[in-house]
Structure 1
Amino acid sequence: MRKIILSTESGADLPGDLAEKYGIQVVPMHIIMDGKDYLDGSLPVQDIYDYYERTKKIPSTTSTNAHEYQEFFATIRENYPDCFIIHIGYTSKASSSFQNAVIAAEEFEDIFLIDALNVTGGLAAIVLYAAELLEKDPSIEPERLIEKIEAIVPKARLAFIPGSLEFLKAGGRVSNMASLIGALLKIKPCIELKDGKLMPTKKYRGKMGGAAEKLLRDYLTEFDINREQVYFIYSIGLDEKIKQRMDELAEENGFRNIRWIQAGGMISTHSGAGGFGVAGLEH
């Protein structure tokens, strides 16, 4: 029986223990800071925020390039000869990474690519759904597994509140004026994935604690999320009291499993410190 290997990018913020548990291969994206190129995951996220505090400059990010994907896929094949590779990628609507994977995959056989049209915890939810299916049925045919993954992609829902409008502005998600007004009025935009694009949808006034609670309530009202699992995403700096409150609300709403995911360098560079998000899969 030929083995199936799952892979994704660092922008999924897949917790290391789960990547190891399921044998999921993760290729790093890039963070450009102070003229230097860092592989996502190779430097502490706190360094990004310290750099901003020191220089008032926000690092930029770049996708995994085609050559890196070729090496990545080749290494998987060396470690797992004759395997099938199913790569579940970061949304093609916000990065060239998926297209670079497509280019690299042309050099190989039996590599299947799925555009998750999602990022961070939304992407992780899809990848972990696939990993659990594979764990339950290791003999599943690749085509059948791909069908199931592709069917769940439109059911993955992600919403988050960035910790800093300055960081969000640097990523091109809001205009300068919107950022200025938001800061003055203490408005926190909710960002959601719509057809693979990061779109500002709602606006919340006040402190992060209240905004996070409103976000979660709106999210659970809008989407029929499977109560088996919910993922909470946070960037460094989110108050522990907010985390405790989100856990309480999740339990009150019948979630059987709650998993916190720390935003890595790639996502933190766009969200800023103290951000909060929620991801799950609809029925």
Structure 2
Amino acid sequence: MSNIKIFADSTCDLPREWVQKYDIGIIPLYVTFGDETYKDGVDITTPELYAKVDKIGSLPKTAAPSPADFIQAFAPHIEAGRDIVYISLSSELSSTYQNAVIAAGEFPEGRVTVIDSLNLSTGIGLQVMKAVRAAEEGKTPQEIAKRIESIKPLVETEFVIDSLDYLYKGGRCSGMQNLVSSLLKIRPVIKVIDGKMTPAYKVRGKREKALEQMLNNALDKRGQMDNDLIFVTHSLAEEDANELKKILEEKTGAREIAISDAGCVISSHCGAKTIGILYVKKA
């Protein structure tokens, strides 16, 4: 076992079996419906979240783990003599990073290294897996952090949102935008740029057209891809994810293409049938 413990939070959307296999610590964010608060991926699943939204008619609120949550998670490993490298959800989207920094300050200097992924979902997960590999190679926390900092700007995160309903319910677009987009069947494509969710373009027409555009965008950059790992991450869009995986396997030559389910926090912001392709470009 490495003397470095890699941590992420529940928004990294790594497959559960990977988390177990690579001994990755996961700190859950919170999902709140009224007076009921759940830990993402622990007390509530994505299908359960959608069922609650349909029943209640409104979206949950999401919240970062508190500094106390981080301290509680980190302390046993510090006491066991292990150092910690934690890679967080983008500081542009949540206070998760800031709370982890506060928690790190409660331990001896250098024992907890906190890295701002400036990303979300498996855009974080890609960085976490690079950190896992570096730890396996015997790298120090400082060397791991340096490697991740060099990778961060190279992570490509692009996903198609099937409907603006969740963005509308969450106050992220106007009712008129939602109505017009529904009538015209406009599907927004979102990219993560400088840690923020940024509308990249819109595709009018069938869902398949938007997925094809996203796929082509990725394939156009296949020569720039670090072919170690590509993620297809989705929220209740397994059939589409399998089809995208199949095509990417045929056309990229990547060592591994993994399908990942989006957790509750990511899904509560984007909605069902959201699907993305995420990878790292070569340095």
Normalized against structure 2, the TM-score is what? 0.92
Q: Can you list the C-alpha shifts for 1:156-175, whole angstroms capped at 9, x where unaligned?
A: 11111123311123344433
Contact 1:170–1:270 under 8 Å retained in 2: no
State the alpha-carbon separation in 2 of the partners of residues 149 and 229 from structure 1.
15
Deviates more, 1:47-56 or 1:97-106: 47-56
Do structure 1's residue 35 and structure 2's residue 9 form an aligned pair? no
8 Å CA contact retained: 1:157, 1:193: yes
Instruction: Note the alpha carbon deviations across 1:74-93, whole angstroms, 9 max, x for none.
Output: 13324xx1211111110000
- Alignment of 1:111 onto 2:112: yes
Partner deviation per Cα, 1:75-126 (whole Å, 9 max, x = no partner): 3324xx1211111110000001100111111101211111000010100011
RMSD over aligned Cα, in angstroms? 1.8
Q: Indicate if the aligned counterparts of 2:70 and 2:100 stay in contact, CA closer than 8 A.
A: yes
Q: How does 1:120-269 map to 2 (within 5 A)?
A: 120-135=121-136, 137=137, 139-221=138-220, 224-236=224-236, 238=237, 240=239, 242-254=240-252, 255-269=254-268
Which ranges of structure 2 fall in alignment gaps of 5 or more residues?
Answer: none
Question: Quick one: structure 1 residues 175 and 68, their matched pair in 2 at CA, closer, same or farther if it must change by over 3 Å?
Answer: same
Contact 1:4-1:84 at 8 Å conserved across structures: yes
What letter is aligned with 1:217?
Answer: N
In the alignment, the residues of structure 2 paired with residue 53 and residue 141 of structure 1 have an alpha-carbon distance, to the nearest angstrom, of 47
The question of 1:8 aligning with 2:13 is answered: no
State the Cα distance separating 1:222 from its structure 2 match.
Answer: 5.4
8 Å CA contact 2:233, 2:241 repeated in 1: no
| Identity in percent | 32
Q: Is the CA contact 2:185–2:204 (under 8 Å) kept in the aligned structure 1?
A: yes
> Bigger shift: 244-253 or 103-112?
244-253
* Secondary structure at 1:226 match in 2: strand
Q: Is the contact made by 1:163 and 1:235 (CA closer than 8 Å) also made in structure 2?
A: no
Q: Secondary structure at the match of 1:147?
A: helix
| Aligned mates of 2:280, 2:194 — CA distance in 1 | 15
> 1:76-87 maps to which residues of 2 (within 5 A)?
76-78=77-79, 81-87=80-86
**Distance in 1 of aligned mates of 2:94 and 2:219:** 28
- Residue 214 of structure 1 and its aligned partner are, at CA, apart by 1.0
Conserved 8 A contact 2:245-2:259: no
Cα distance per residue 1:248-278 (max 9 Å; x no partner): 3202322331100000111111111111111
Q: Which string of whole-angstrom CA distances, capped at 9 and with x for unpartnered residues, describes residues 162-193 of structure 1? A: 23311123344433322221111111101111
With over 3 angstroms needed to count, the CA separation of the structure-2 counterparts of 1:174 and 1:76, relative to structure 1, is farther
Q: Give TM-score, length-normalised by structure 1.
A: 0.92
The residue type paired with residue 11 of structure 2 is G
Return the letter of the residue paired with 1:279: L
Which amino acid is 2:209 matched to?
G
Contact 1:31 1:59 in 2 (8 A): yes
- Runs of 4+ residues over 6 Å off in structure 1: none
Q: Do the aligned residues in 2 keep the contact of 1:213 with 1:246 (CA within 8 Å)?
A: no
Name the residue aligned to 1:90. Answer: 89
Counterpart of 1:95 in 2: which secondary structure? Answer: coil
1:239 Cα shift?
A: 5.5
